[in-house]
Structure 1
Amino acid sequence: MAKAKSAFVCTECGAEYSKWQGQCSNCREWNTLSEIRLTSARPGAAAASGSAGRGGYAGALTKEVVDLSGVDLTEVPRFSSTFEEFDRVLGGGLVPGSAVLLGGHPGAGKSTLLLQTACRLAQSKRVLYVTGEESLSQVAMRAHRLQLPTHGLKMLAETSVETLLAVVERERPEVLIIDSIQTMHLEDIGSAPGGVAQVRESAAALTRFAKQSNTVLLLVGHVTKDGTLAGPKVLEHMIDASLLLEGGSDSRFRTLRGQKNRFGAVNELGVFAMVELGLKEVKNLSAIFLSRSEEQASGSLVMVVWEGTRPILVEVQALLDESALGNPRRVAVGLDHNRLAMLLAVLHKHGGLFTGDQDVFLNVVGGVKVLETSADLAVLLAVVSSLQNRPLPRELVVFGEVGLSGEIRPVPSGQERIVEAAKHGFTRAIVPRGNAPRQAPAGMQVVAVDKLSEALEAL
């Protein structure tokens, strides 16, 4: 009997090696290599290869090539998931034949969101919900507690991929939900469910079926303690969209962010509120993040960030306190820690304000993670406000990128940001000169600046 071949795959970056080693040479992480069994080639592969060597690439092995200009540009058909925020992150809705991976921490609401989606879709489409972690009675009790319409939703408690594929071949659902991919296993792979080999091959088999049958495949995936998806990185290459549901147990809001999407924009954001009857859509994002205190306090400022295809107004808070340590602390919640250190150096060099003896704490209210550089100017002005203990006007809104030479650079969609701020009653804005509109919205005073020193003078 031929010896089964195996390889070792890094669970962090997906790099593959022929033998085990303690450290991954690609991402430099330790103890991340896991063994997977390689499937043997088809019996006819060698014969096909031999005939090819003799000029035998003909018949079934011949593929037609087409000109790019002749490819059909028909719009990809979609249908709604019944949640507008879910559709927004997906790029407009669910695409038949697509594979979508939904990840998140335990308790984030992954199963709740998909159960609500499944029950609503089942009223008009054939939906099969496969649970590998919970019993059917547990899912039924949750649906009853959330007061969902349960009629028409097909359920299956199964962890074997072979059995599952036989059932879906008979049922032919339009939407197939797997909760979760870490519980699925193939009989011919010796490792335990949740291992690298099982997750990789199970996802490949299910995705292959979805492509062939035009079924929408929704997979639930767990995340590791550092927030990355558990299992091999190659799993993200198999699927069409990777979504992450974020939100701690101490917050009633959940954010759904697109990390990869072949049918829409990435980094799109959808927000849900966890209520008694499950997840509820939040359509006016700025309103929930602007619940500010009535009392004016130093270090508080509103900025306009761009998430996906829409602007959001969020509050950034800064607190500076004289440090008793030789190495002052720099803490940023919702912002990049390294960028904070850079901005403080720019403030000292080009603004003349020294913070080297101060502990600096920054927080973006509402648990929002700001990934873009348009928050730079707002962060620095909030730091200055706390340093000098002087509150900023409540009607002031700020955005702009700060360069290392102290210049204020324009950011994308500046006009839309100003209009969004005016809608929420803000009457003054400090923006980069490149984003200054020709005509400001009614009641809005726009101050355009080129340098950090000009922004400090404008305060």
Structure 2
Amino acid sequence: MSKKPPAKVFLCKTCGAQSQRWAGKCSECGDWNSIEEQVPGGGGRFEPSSSFKSTSSDRRYAEPVPVNRVEESKWNRLSTGFSELDLVLGGGIVPGSLLLVGGEPGVGKSTLVLEISRGLSGTGKVLYISGEESSSQIGMRAKRMGLDNENILLSSEIYAENISNMISEVKPSVVFIDSIQTIMKESLVNQAGSVTQLRESSQIFLETAKRTGIPIFLIGHITKDGSIAGPKALEHLVDTVLYFEGDRLNYYRILRAVKNRFGAVGNTAIFEMAPEGLKQVLDRHRLFIAPETEERSGSVLASVMEGSRAISVEVQALVAKSSFGQARRMAEGLDNRRVILLAAVIEKFLGIPLSESDIFSNLAGGLSIDEPSLDLAIAASIVSSFRDKPISRQIGFLGEVGLSGEVRSIGQITLRLKELQGIGITKVFLPYGNLKESEGLFPGIQLVGIRRLGDLEI
């Protein structure tokens, strides 16, 4: 009797949803053209056997433990050699953890890996698995960075099972896999980078990290919308997700933690790209602010939160008479929809005719921030540019603007004011609701509380 061929399986490469037929749009996540046919034989969903019956004499689960009796684990974290990166990770690398680092091509992910390898080479062997570049290519980059160390081992292995065996035998202090999209499980016939291969290979590395206690870094590509390529299950599987961001034409790179099971989420580390490699930036007070003290119209100062720390930023705006039938609204580093909304609020409640003017808004230094606390600064820069009236470099703006023109309170006001005080700000416009909690704490700053956008003095 002929064996029935296995049924076809279709998986969404974005969310990993499984279906029995192809469709142009995924019914789970809504993405178009993301469903691909997968070859059966591995990586399918687990189906429990109907014949299995759990009995008290044949218990197959761990005994539940009351939460107040759980012993806290003490980790001897590994230092990366970068104090800023250690802070992002929550104090260093946790043994046995699985970390995912994503970034655009050319942003410097491989350079970052070599820099971390330099810092960790003193603690033991470092294993660098590269499925994209040959050992000679990596060696050339390491030579350019002045990296000459016998403890850094290179390999071009692409099969997950072989890498797992290599880790168990070599016993390095840390492992880097660049990139996870090039690694495959040998027992599967799917091509590297497919949903099944990514999921199964990552599962092997997770088991290896937990079994050996060796931390493993997975380097991942990102898609055109800025998310890490592959199913979301990949981000759920790992312990920490880091995004390495930055314009390739800019010297600065930002490493941001968006998931961390061993520390706070949202902290950032800033690096400067130099010919000899990456250097961490410790003094970030004036990093994204122009050093000159000249007052210019359309340029105002504010402070935003990046994780648990505040950063001073410069918001710029240019308002010019439109040469087209419809006025344009363009933003770089800011939410374009927010700029459109604020322009409408300004026109209605301040009586400034912006409907016939183009508005270009920018966050200086290449940062990308989507935080409501910048609303007041964006509005002030637009009004300043329209009236061609410069604003003093010693004045800061903090606050969220509502649709009815009210200025709403924001969080972490004391940290923001302390940051602005550090760059020489002597006067700050802030929401009236934040005035009481910050009065008297900063004697060198004049705090001006405002309730509505019309109270702003420009």
8 Å CA contact 2:127–2:153 kept in 1: the answer is: yes
8 Å CA contact 1:105–1:223 kept in 2: the answer is: yes
Gaps of 5+ in 1: none
Tell me the CA shift for residue 5 of structure 1. 5.4
Encode CA deviations 1:166-193: one digit per residue, 9 max, x unaligned.
2112122231110111111112211221
Q: Is residue 2:379 matched to residue 1:383?
A: no
- Tell me which stretches of 4 or more aligned residues in structure 1 moved more than 6 Å: 40-45
Q: Residues 16-415 of structure 1: matches in 2 within 5 Å?
A: 16-36=18-38, 37=40, 39=42, 46=49, 50-52=51-53, 56=55, 58-59=57-58, 61-415=60-414
8 Å CA contact 1:415–1:435 kept in 2: the answer is: no
**Secondary structure in structure 1 of the residue aligned to 2:122:** coil
**Secondary structure in structure 2 of the residue aligned to 1:118:** helix
Quote the RMSD (CA, aligned, Å): 2.2
State the match for 2:451 in structure 1. 450
Change (3 A) 1:67 1:425: same
* One-letter identity of the residue aligned with 2:250: S
Change (3 A) 1:348 1:40: closer
Tell me the CA shift for residue 307 of structure 1. 0.7
Change (3 A) 1:219 1:258: same
Q: Structure 1 residues 1-10 or 211-220, which shifts more?
A: 1-10
Tell me the CA shift for residue 156 of structure 1. 1.8
Whole-angstrom distance in 1 between the partners of 2:203 and 2:372: 37
Q: Percent identity?
A: 39
Change (3 A) 1:435 1:77: farther
Change (3 A) 1:187 1:5: farther
State the match for 1:441 in structure 2. 442
Count how many residue pairs are aligned between Structure 1 and Structure 2: 453
Whole-angstrom distance in 2 between the partners of 1:282 and 1:42: 46
Whole-angstrom distance in 1 between the partners of 2:31 and 2:406: 38
Gaps of 5+ in 2: none
Whole-angstrom distance in 1 between the partners of 2:412 and 2:246: 27
* One-letter identity of the residue aligned with 2:319: L
Whole-angstrom distance in 2 between the partners of 1:301 and 1:406: 19
**Secondary structure in structure 2 of the residue aligned to 1:416:** helix
Whole-angstrom distance in 1 between the partners of 2:365 and 2:204: 40
Whole-angstrom distance in 1 between the partners of 2:454 and 2:367: 29
* One-letter identity of the residue aligned with 1:114: V
Whole-angstrom distance in 2 between the partners of 1:62 and 1:320: 65
* One-letter identity of the residue aligned with 1:320: V
Q: Give TM-score, length-normalised by structure 1.
A: 0.93
Whole-angstrom distance in 1 between the partners of 2:373 and 2:422: 20
* One-letter identity of the residue aligned with 1:25: S
Tell me the CA shift for residue 146 of structure 1. 0.6
Change (3 A) 1:446 1:31: same
**Secondary structure in structure 1 of the residue aligned to 2:365:** coil
Tell me the CA shift for residue 26 of structure 1. 2.9
* One-letter identity of the residue aligned with 2:93: L
8 Å CA contact 1:99–1:239 kept in 2: the answer is: yes
